[in-house]
Amino acid sequence: MSQPTDFNPQETAKTLGLLPEEYDQIVKYLGRTPNFTELSVYSVMWSEHCSYKNSILWLKTLPKKGPAILAEAGEENAGLVDIGDGLACAFKIESHNHPSAIEPYQGAATGVGGINRDIFTMGARPVGQLNSLRFGDPNSERTKWLLKGVVKGIGDYGNSFGIPVVGGEVYFDESYNQNPLVNAMSIGIVETNKTISAISEGPGNPVFIVGSSTGKDGIHGATFASGDLSDDSADDLPSVQVGDPFQEKLLLEASLELADTDCIVGMQDMGAAGITCSTSEMSAKGGCGMDIFLDRVPTRQENMLPFEILLSESQERMLVVVKKGKEADVLRIFDKWDLNCVEIGVVTEGNQLRYFMNDELVAQAPADSLVLGGGAPVYGREYIEPTYFAKAQAFDQSKINEPKDLTEVARFLIGHVNIASKRWVTEQYDSMVGTINMSSNMPTDAGIISIKGTDKAIAATVDCNARYVYANPEEGCAIAVAEAARNIVCSGGKPAAITNCLNFGNPYNPEAYWQFVGAIKGMSKACLAFETPVTGGNVSFYNQSTIDGKTVPVLPTPTIGMIGLVDSKEHITSLAISKEGLNLILLGNHSDDISSSQYLIQWHKEELSKSPKFDLRDEVRLQNTLLNLIRKGIISAAHDVSDGGLFTTLLEMTTLNTIGVDIKIQADGRLDGFLFGESQSRVVIAVEDSNLAILKADVEKSGTPFSILGKSKGTKLMINSVDFGSVKDLHEIYSSALHKMMS
């Protein structure tokens, strides 16, 4: 087995990020000293990015069972939910944070490509994309450079690939200055009897690599994603993969054509750790081994070394295990689409992965020793409550002075990039391709994807307010789940399941790990309450930057991707007020709580406070009541109260048709809190006079608090007799803020 002449296994293991005890365990698994290639294989498979070694103990506590779940978390490349009519929805969210920090265009583009491959390797056709993006100080030139690159990368890849972007979020905070977060979600539809598993079985069955050739891009990308960023991270630029969306489109069509045959045993995307990951995970799942001949792998560079071929994360490649005797059928399909399709190995008895180069055995290991759920290490890390938490809980809003001119505050907030329209971003995405996005001309709180051939639709959203999570990880993450569910219900859907992208700092930092543990607890209790099991996702630790010797962690950001089912397209509910004379009603309690609101943070410059008022039982009751009202057909519009508070909610409801409102808030408390506070479990609905009596009876019966605010009227926002300005002028401020920042 070849290796460098100056090879020192212990030192090499350390250099590759393996702990001393992990090196000792590798020796036990192999029964001998590992060579360089084997250490490289273990280093990527045992990296945080692939093994979840510092998170899996807590991930296992998340609820993952449900009557519609067809593939539980960890079983396949993505979650799979039965949506009836013989169809299933495959969906997943993943991060591409570190690559995007040093090469934003390719980092984001390959994130989009990778998450779509996770969907179509299951036999599902991708039908919609969402993304959750976090950047640093909006006044920083670096932030603008990162935003431009990431958005262009997402737009160019997604537009070329031909899948509409149906939703997303963008948020700015200085904690993301050096380490942005780029979380990409994809959704696909598949016939339940045509799903493909990521499994290898049947000794003698041939193993094919299909798609693009293998190059040196992305080598040790999984290891790179499992460490802190520093001033020297640009030196790791070769770790960033390079994507080709047109090649991916060909691979999609070839894969789906293959899925219509009886040729496939199993198929898996080559994402993190490339050939190493797909061969080991598929073999471990099927309880078998493989012999892989690396010299047969199509390469873009000459004389690539065994470890380079094994660890390359070149894009648009997949591993396919084919039924013996069906090779010619598979070759014919990929030849039609002008793609590589090369037999590089064979399934074997036992559990050994053996990698050969020019007939020389260059690496060997038991498949299950490499993977999560098998022999990969599992750690429980120390966690401790940060000192800031007690200070946050002691926040007293009575000490915050109420401004005299609330119109000035309102205009400031709707012009802040965290609240203002993200049109500068979304107009660079193709939201119309495929003719299945139903949110383009009728704005809704969640993205709506038509399920062709049925009267159903998928509602999808990504949500997380990291400020809430920082203030109280357990409550903040529960709020993220609740808001995702609320957005789906406001749009006419019933929440079904979630995927998550858990972005945190260094797991060896007890305070950062405390945030992670709290978020998991909050997610668990909220998912149980909404009956939305967790189908999988991604953990991204080490999201922090070492700048001039100082470590700066990002705000804890457990992004929630949720899907729901709209059982009839007639129930799709817009957020826009359609005409004058509608009754505007607040479902939920009035609250003047300003804790962790953008108003408190951006206007008053008070960054430390409690998470906003939230009661999970109230939230569940509110959503059940709202969905019942929508299904009865008595609501004209619905929009949840979230970032920016009630004022922003009302403005967003008025802008599509330039119809104003005249409302009066009749409650005790501070008006700035009622207008700009972000207390949860509140939705504004619009109702015709003819439906008002039915609505009142139903809401009172449910026990959900409500109050009639006023009516849609004129062209201004009138609140408690205060003229906040014309809808047209306010919308100009709201819609132009991000354009001005980027200009």
Residue 300, token pair as written in the block? 């873009």
- CA angle, 502 as apex, 496 and 508 as ends, to 5°? 150
Closest CA to 23 of 39, 35, 36: 39
CB atoms within 10 A of CB 700: 11
> What gap in Å lies between CA 102 and CA 111, rounded to an integer?
14
Could you tell me if 555 and 544 are in contact, meaning their C-beta atoms sit under 8 angstroms apart? no
H or E element that contains 266: strand 264-269
Residue 204, token pair as written in the block? 């003698």
CA–chain centroid gap for 713, Å, is 39
> What gap in Å lies between CA 573 and CA 552, rounded to an integer?
42
Strands ordered across the beta sheet of 229-230 = 229-230, 544-547, 550-553
> What gap in Å lies between CA 579 and CA 522, rounded to an integer?
40
Helix residue spans in 34-103 (DSSP H) = 36-45, 48-51, 56-59, 97-102
Could you tell me if 224 and 98 are in contact, meaning their C-beta atoms sit under 8 angstroms apart? yes
Catalytic residue list contains 416: no
Residues with Cβ within 8 Å of 436's Cβ and at least 6 positions away in sequence, in order, are 127, 128, 164, 449, 450, 452
> What gap in Å lies between CA 512 and CA 331, rounded to an integer?
49
> What gap in Å lies between CA 707 and CA 331, rounded to an integer?
65
The DSSP code for 199 is -
> What gap in Å lies between CA 429 and CA 503, rounded to an integer?
24
Closest CA to 735 of 420, 411, 419, 440: 420
Residues with Cβ within 8 Å of 619's Cβ and at least 6 positions away in sequence, in order, are 482, 485, 486, 529, 680, 681
Q: Which residues of 349-456 form beta strands (DSSP E)? A: 352-357, 360-366, 447-450
Closest CA to 575 of 647, 639, 627: 639
Length of the chain, please?
A: 743
Catalytic residue among 96, 98, 416, 590: 96
Phi, psi of 350 (to 5 degrees): 85, -160
Residues with Cβ within 8 Å of 71's Cβ and at least 6 positions away in sequence, in order, are 78, 79, 80, 122, 195, 535
Please state the three-class secondary structure of 73-87 as a single string. Answer: CCCCCCEEEEEECCE
Q: Interhelix angle for 141-161 vs 727-742, to 10°? A: 100
Could you tell me if 202 and 324 are in contact, meaning their C-beta atoms sit under 8 angstroms apart? yes
Q: Identity (one letter) of the amino acid at 140? A: S
Catalytic residue list contains 96: yes
> What gap in Å lies between CA 545 and CA 558, rounded to an integer?
18
Closest CA to 541 of 381, 384, 392, 377: 381
Could you tell me if 680 and 482 are in contact, meaning their C-beta atoms sit under 8 angstroms apart? yes
Q: Interhelix angle for 20-30 vs 36-45, to 10°? A: 120
Strands ordered across the beta sheet of 340-348 = 264-269, 317-322, 206-211, 340-348, 289-293, 352-357, 360-366
Exposure letters 345-357 (e unless 16+ CB within 10 A, then b): bbbbeebebbbbb
Among all residues, which ones are annotated catalytic?
Answer: 49, 96
